[in-house]
Amino acid sequence: MYGVKFKVTKAPQTLDGWYCLHSLYRIDWPRWQALEVHAREALLAEAEELMAKEQAKQTSHLGSSGHYWVLGHKADLMGIYLRPTLEDLAAVENAWAKSAIGSYLLPVYSYFSVVELSTHTSAPRTEEAMREAEAALRERLEPDLPQSRYVCFYPMSKLRGEERNWYMLESAARRDLMRSHGVIGHSYADRVRQIITGSMGLDDWEWGVDLFSDDPLQFKKIIYEMRFDEVSAVYALFGSFFVGMRLGSGDLRRYLASA
């Protein structure tokens, strides 16, 4: 609309790390259950070999992977993959798609993003503090997925409504709101680990949030408490929530071999 002036706010800079892909599948149960036992064993052995190769990547700090059994009807399995490049991530996706067991996995949802940190915080002043901060920063940008028993993943965006628009707030206002929001998150630091990924220009939502904990009730508690914070209450839009249990060595076989 001509003649209307809009204020332009400065976009905060972000630090970007490893690429991330969430892949969610349903299992083709009728085809799977029709297989002979020896055929299932061969497929499971192949899947375990793929998982072992992914673990080797994590051991060499060339990426990180996690596989989860998802509760509810939205999916059966979820893979979370972190890799240094988009090509590395595509290779993981391609390996599962071309595997024999891949033909029994029906894709239901995916989410592509990159590990993201904002730069609202002040830079350390001393050389020693800068070295420590750089090491901690690298660990956060290239994280190993936590070994926690449970995960809660959901995509989200910030509101861009006619009356309330996150992106039209002054930078100081956004910083103050996020600082208050962060206080709640920090209060759960001993119970919940969080990884944030950004997806503007990469996927339909703006951020992906992964929460990891050994107590799934903590997901409800932290999100419930944050709903009362202004950042969530006024400006947050949430996608679907996926909660799963981590599949460690041998777990996939236990879940599928007897199905």
Active site residues: 154
Contact 89, 57 (CB under 8 A): no
- 211, 206, 199: which is closest to 237 by C-alpha? 206
Residues 6+ apart with CB under 8 A from 173: none
What are the phi and psi torsion angles at 196 (to 5°)? -105, 135
Report the distance separating Cα 202 and Cα 108, nearest Å: 18
Q: Which residues of 31-42 are buried (b: 16+ CB within 10 A; e: fewer)?
A: ebeeeeeeebee
DSSP 8-state secondary structure symbol assigned to residue 23: E
DSSP 8-state secondary structure symbol assigned to residue 229: S
Bridge partners for 118 per DSSP: 14
**Residue 195 in tokens:** 């990884």
**Residue 123 in tokens:** 């830079």
Report the distance separating Cα 85 and Cα 93, nearest Å: 13
